[in-house]
Amino acid sequence: MTASLARRESSPVSLPQPYLLFLGDVTEAGFAKTAFGLKDWAADLCVGELACSSDAVTTGLTRMTPKKAYVRGARAMVIGVANPGGVIKPSWMPSLLDALEAGLDLIAGMHARLEDAPELKAAAERYGRKLIDVRRPPAGIPIATGRKRTGKRLLTVGTDCAIGKKYTALALAAAFKARGVGADFRASGQTGIMIAGGGVPMDAVVSDFEAGAAEILSPDAAPDHWDVIEGQGSLSHPAYAAVSLGLLHGSQPDVVVLCHEPGRERLLGFPEFRTPSLIDAIAVNLQMGALTNPNIRCGGVSFNTSALTQQEAEVLMAVASTALSLPVADPLRGGPAFERLVDNCLAP
């Protein structure tokens, strides 16, 4: 294999856009988090939505057929569902087949593979369409080199899983761009990949190649350019610390932002394990990250305060900021606290 071919094969996945969002027959918003994440963070890439049940949840986008979506510019239909077991339900099949016939590729981030469904595989071959499983890493990922790359990098890390690392990275990347700073959001999970249009699904990469995958996710860049990298898992998690460590080493972040949900005292789904303190979580990330970037620092802390009132959130963030001597903010609330977090992340 030539060097150029190896580079092509190990490139992060890239996706056809814009999207038609498929909601299936899901009646609970929590099981359609991919669709809602795309609507919240990539609305300009979402042409409309499709459901196969009148009782299905809605993102608020216009409901339309695949044919109409194609006419309006859509080039792929995303299965925006994350149901228990990650399965493709038989009741969805007519809608999925209609999308292929209408000229749309299919994109999914579920455990079930699209190409493992014989009907879909046959239809895709017949119409010349693609079946894209986002939770499939690119071929030819190299092992990490540890070589220092040009450009600047920020990685969101967490005290637990499902705590706001993706939303924080997206908000920071947007804030950097609003200040005229060159920045790219680098996605490492299926929803983030669909939002960004590319990335590497880090939780599907073999452990030995995690750091190498992170290196190709965030390649050399201009000296003043920032890659804002979506974190995965937590170094304090008994099941998912491996992906967190590989991503940390391969990202070589200059800055980490710790993400946390106040009040979460036990790890989600692992109640026998306590959530680490903010001080301990910052310390372990800096200690482990120093292997590939001795100059790593913490830019601040991102709180998920969705369960709190505005006043409660402001008081809690102010207290934590004083205790840590770092900016603490909720990126979705914005305001002066978030501006201080952005300032500190960009500080020389």
Tokens 């249009």 sit on residue = 197
Q: How many domains does the chain have?
A: 2
Confidence of residue 5 (pLDDT cuts 50, 70, 90): very low
145 part of a folded domain: no
Residues 214 and 100 in one domain: no
Q: Which domain holds residue 314?
A: 152-346
Residues 273 and 165 in one domain: yes
Angstrom distances, CA of residue 189 to CA of 52, 199, 231: 26, 8, 8
pLDDT reported for residue 102: 98
CB atoms closer than 10 angstroms to residue 153: 22
Q: Is the pLDDT of residue 4 over 50?
A: no
Residues 196 and 264 in one domain: yes
Residues 79 and 157 in one domain: no
Q: Is the pLDDT of residue 153 over 70?
A: yes
**Domain edge (last residue) among 129, 144, 173:** 129
285 vs 267: CA distance, rounded Å: 17
Residues 114 and 185 in one domain: no
pLDDT reported for residue 95: 97
Structure confidence by residue, pLDDT tens digits, 221-252: 999 999 999 999 999 999 999 999 999 999 99
Integer Rg of the chain from CA: 20
Query: 1-10, 95-104, 207-216, 235-244: which range is least confident on average?
Result: 1-10
Residues 284 and 224 in one domain: yes
What's the residue count for the chain?
348
Instruction: Work out the mean pLDDT of the chain and round it to a whole number.
Output: 93
206 part of a folded domain: yes
Structure confidence by residue, pLDDT tens digits, 98-139: 999 999 999 998 888 999 999 999 999 999 999 999 988 888
CB atoms closer than 10 angstroms to residue 346: 18
Cα dihedral 298, 41, 183, 179 sign: negative
Residues 163 and 260 in one domain: yes
pLDDT reported for residue 1: 27
253 vs 262: CA distance, rounded Å: 25
What percent of the chain shows pLDDT beyond 90? 83
Residues 227 and 321 in one domain: yes
pLDDT reported for residue 343: 98
Confidence of residue 212 (pLDDT cuts 50, 70, 90): very high
* CA angle, 34 then 104 then 93, to 5°: 70
Angstrom distances, CA of residue 223 to CA of 153, 155, 183, 207: 10, 17, 11, 30
Q: Which residues contact 6 (CB under 8 A, 6 or more apart)?
A: 140, 142
Give the CATH number of the domain where residue 206 resides.
3.40.50.300
pLDDT reported for residue 165: 96
pTM for this predicted structure: 0.85
Comparing 136 with 70, the larger pLDDT belongs to 70
Structure confidence by residue, pLDDT tens digits, 278-312: 999 999 999 999 999 999 999 999 999 999 999 99
pLDDT reported for residue 28: 86
135 part of a folded domain: no
With contact defined as beta carbons under 8 Å apart, do 143 and 114 qualify? Answer: no
Structure confidence by residue, pLDDT tens digits, 20-39: 999 999 998 878 889 998 99
Confidence of residue 13 (pLDDT cuts 50, 70, 90): low
Closest listed residue to residue 230, CA positions, set 312, 305, 173, 298: 173
Residues 178 and 62 in one domain: no
Q: Which residues contact 39 (CB under 8 A, 6 or more apart)?
A: 21, 46, 59, 60, 61
Q: Is the pLDDT of residue 265 over 50?
A: yes
Per the structure block, which two tokens stand in for 241? 């610390």
Give the CATH number of the domain where residue 80 resides.
3.40.50.720
Confidence of residue 9 (pLDDT cuts 50, 70, 90): very low
Find the helix or strand (DSSP H, E) in which 23 lies: strand 19-24
Residues 323 and 225 in one domain: yes
165 vs 153: CA distance, rounded Å: 15
Q: Is the pLDDT of residue 6 over 60?
A: no
Residues 191 and 324 in one domain: yes
**C-alpha torsion 40→45→48→53, nearest 10:** -60
58 vs 50: CA distance, rounded Å: 9
Work out the average pLDDT over 206-232. 97
pLDDT reported for residue 3: 30
pLDDT reported for residue 181: 98
